[in-house]
């Protein structure tokens, strides 16, 4: 019962903050819907046939089957992209490692100061 009560409170806090964020961002002045600097380059340097496609993101102009392509981004689980998960894991581990070392060093400092004064 206590668990359910706490669950509802945390959920309510999350929804409250979420609604606040929603209205804050919606109140911001209008933004450009899908501008990508790559489009401007296409318009300036590309041949005329590209102009009509300038709203496409650069990835969409890549050949079929290109790994980073937007077009095949919804074809289910793809193994090559697991490298991305591993990359994030390594990044996370490095940050954690640095933070652990720093926090241990900071915690040790007062102890050393104490032994020096005594």
Partner 1 sequence: MNVKLNFWVDLATFAGFLVAMEPRATGITIHEWFTVAAVGTLIVHFVLHWDWFMKLTSRFFVKLFHSSRLNYLLSILVFIGFISIMVSGLMISERVLPFFGLDVPARFAWRRIHDLASNLTLLLTAVHVALRWDWVVAAFTRILIDPFRKPRKIDPVLAEEDGI
Cα torsion for 80, 83, 85, 88, to the nearest 10°? -150
Give the nearer residue to partner 1 in terms of CB position, either 44 or 106. 106
106 binds partner 1 (CB under 8 A): yes
Q: What sign does the CA torsion over 10, 13, 14, 15 have?
A: positive
Q: Does 64 bind partner 1 (CB under 8 A)?
A: no
* Residues listed for the chain: 118
Interface residues with partner 1 (CB under 8 A) are: 3, 6-7, 10-11, 14, 17-18, 21-22, 25-26, 28, 31-35, 68, 73-78, 81-82, 84-85, 88-89, 91-92, 95-100, 103, 106-107
């Amino acid at each position: 019962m206590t668990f359910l009560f706490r669950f509802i409170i945390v959920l309510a806090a999350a929804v409250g903050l979420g609604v606040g964020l929603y209205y804050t961002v919606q109140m911001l002045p209008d933004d450009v819907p899908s501008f990508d600097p790559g489009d401007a380059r296409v318009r300036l340097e590309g041949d005329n046939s590209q102009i009509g496609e300038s709203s496409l993101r650069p990835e969409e102009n890549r050949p079929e089957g290109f790994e980073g392509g937007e077009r095949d981004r919804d074809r289910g689980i793809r193994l090559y992209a697991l490298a991305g998960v591993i990359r994030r894991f390594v990044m996370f581990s490095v940050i954690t490692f640095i933070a652990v070392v720093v926090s241990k060093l900071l915690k040790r400092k007062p102890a050393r100061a104490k032994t020096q004064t005594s």
